[in-house]
Amino acid sequence: MTALLLALALLAGAVQASEPRTVLVLGDSLSAAYGLAPEQGWVALTAEKLKARHPGWRMANASVSGETTAGGASRIAGELARHKPAVVVVELGANDGLRGLPLEHTRANLEKIILASQQAGARVLLVGMRLPPNFGPQYTQGFERNFVELAQAHGAALLPFLLEPIATDREAFQADNLHPVAEAQPRLRDHVWPALEPLLK
């Protein structure tokens, strides 16, 4: 009987050890493949690369089009409980900025997401965004600074600007001039990957 229990315990341990670790992406339409088939988005493309390069890992995409940092902050506990991620990629803030929401509210929401993720044992990659200059220098600079200062304060990894590889290429965007086309998604994947891969320990 003791031998049987020991064998079952060892088997359970082996199954647990073989379960893939999860990268959770908590984002907005830029990560939810807005206007595209889901498999065309940078998150799905990164998931393919992750499977090829790090077979013990998988990606879960909890991104929602139109999501604000407040929405992400309200959802983070449930997503952490659901996916139990080892890494959380936070790509939120663009909708806050486009709506001109108070910078301190955006900062507080992002901080809540970062701290909740870290308290759950996950490493965090904070993906920043930039705003058009018509929002004024005080707001745009403060918006950008939020990401930098939060990453520094909480030891999170930082990718300063998700759209950096395509920002000046009008052909890389859909008709709304906000969301990247399918052809641009591999460039976003390749931009995110060097910031993400060191967290896969």
Determine which one of 29, 31, 63, 117 is catalytic.
29
- 29: annotated active-site residue: yes
Determine contact, residues 24/88, Cβ cutoff 8 Å.
Answer: yes
- 179: annotated active-site residue: yes
Hey, which residues does 61 pair with through a beta bridge? 25
Determine which one of 31, 96, 117, 179 is catalytic.
179
- 31: annotated active-site residue: no
What are the catalytic residues?
29, 176, 179
